[in-house]
Amino acid sequence: MAQTSALATVEVHRRKNDGFVGEMRSAAMKLHTREQAREGEKEVKGPEERSVAKWEPTIDGYLKFLVNSKMVFDTLEKLVQKAAFPCYTEFIDTGLERSDNLAKDLEWFKDQGHAIPEPSDPGTFYAGILEDLSQKDPQAFICHFYNIYFAHSAGGRMIGKKVAEKILHKKQLEFYKWDGELPQLLQNARDKLNKVSEGWTREEKDRCLKETERSFKYSGAILRLILL
C-alpha cells in the first residue's frame, strides 16, 4: 500500500514537472509497438517487439542478454564517472546503476553450473558507440543514458518477471532490484535530466531527441539475444 501511494505521489509530481524529459519520453514511446505500450506507433518487425507474453526465452539466450547488458552498463557507469563533460557528474550514484547487481546474477548462474559467455557484438558495439558519444556529443550520450535506465525500470522489469516465470521458476534476479524506492530514484534522475537540459539550445535538444531511434536500435539488438 505504501509503495502504491509513493508511486501515485511521484506520478503526479512527474506530470507537473515533465520539462524536457517529457519530450524524451514522448520520443521513446513512439518507438514502441502497440503490443508493448498503448502509446506505441511502431509496427512489429522483430520477435523482440512482440508482447513478452508471446516470447519463448532460453537460458543460453538470457545469459547472452545479461552479459551484453552488463557490458553496456559497465561502460555507461564508467563514462559517467570519467565525466568528459561536467554535466555527467549529475548522474553519478543515482541509485539506478545496474553493474554490481548484474555481477551478482551472473555469479548465481555460474553457481548453478551454467557457463557464462563472453560479451558479443551487440554489447561491445553499443559500448563503443557510448564511448564515442560521451567524448563528442553530450546531448546524444544523455539520450542513451535516459533510455537505457528508464527502459530497464519499466519494460525491462516486466520482461524480467515474464522470463523468470518461464525459465527460472519465478526467481527474481538482482538486475530487477533497487535499493530504495524506485519511483523516487527515477524522479530524482528526471529532475537532474531537466536541470542539465535547461542550458541546451533547441537545436541541442532536437539532436538529443533524434538519437532516441539509435538507442532503441542498439538496445533492441541486445534484447533480441534472449530469444536466440
Per residue in 65-75, pLDDT tens? 999 999 999 99
- pLDDT score at 205: 98
- pLDDT score at 20: 98
- pLDDT score at 141: 98
Which residue, among 120, 12, 10, 28, has the nearest Cα to 69 in the 3D structure? Answer: 120
- pLDDT score at 17: 57
Least confident range of 32-36, 143-147, 179-183: 32-36
Task: List pLDDT tens digits, range 95-110.
Answer: 999 999 999 999 999 9
Which whole-number Å values give the CA distances from 124 to 75, 82, 103, 219, in the listed order?
Answer: 10, 19, 17, 12
- pLDDT score at 211: 98
Examine the pLDDT at 116 and tell me if it is beyond 80. Answer: yes
Contacts of 115 (CB under 8 A, 6+ apart): none
Record the pTM: 0.88
Q: Which residue has the higher pLDDT, 148 or 32?
A: 148
Q: Report the mean per-residue pLDDT for the chain.
A: 89
Residue 42 confidence class, pLDDT cut points 50, 70, 90: low
Which residue, among 153, 146, 111, 199, has the nearest Cα to 23 in the 3D structure? Answer: 146
Least confident range of 45-54, 93-102, 157-166: 45-54
Buried b (16+ CB within 10 A) or exposed e, 140-167: bbbbbbbbbbbbbbeebbebbebbbebb
- pLDDT score at 12: 46
Residue type at 112 in one-letter notation: Q
Residue 15 confidence class, pLDDT cut points 50, 70, 90: very low
Rounded mean pLDDT, 114-121: 98
- pLDDT score at 18: 87
Rounded mean pLDDT, 42-70: 81
Place of cell 535499493: 179
